[in-house]
């Protein structure tokens, strides 16, 4: 599975693959990955805003 497909799956932009295991630990891992991707995107947005509105 490609990296962009995996990110789209984490962010609910793409339907989940039915062949993947569905255990509690996998759910935890996907939740943490989703959180880290969202925090990374937020940090990138903050950096871009600071670059454009630098005093």
Q: Does 17 have pLDDT greater than 70?
A: no
Task: Report which of residues 14 and 26 the model is more confident about.
Answer: 26
| Residue-level pLDDT at 38 | 87
Helices (H) and strands (E) in the chain, counts: 2, 0
| Residue-level pLDDT at 14 | 62
> Which residue in 38, 15, 39, 16 sits closest to 27, CA to CA?
16
pTM > 0.85: no
Give, as one character, the DSSP assignment of residue 21. Answer: -
């Amino acid at each position: 599975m490609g990296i962009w497909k995996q990110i789209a799956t984490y962010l609910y932009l793409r339907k989940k693959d039915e062949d993947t295991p569905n255990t509690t630990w996998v759910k935890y891992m996907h939740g943490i990955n989703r959180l880290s991707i969202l925090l990374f995107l937020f940090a990138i947005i903050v950096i871009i805003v600071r670059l454009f509105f630098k005093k």
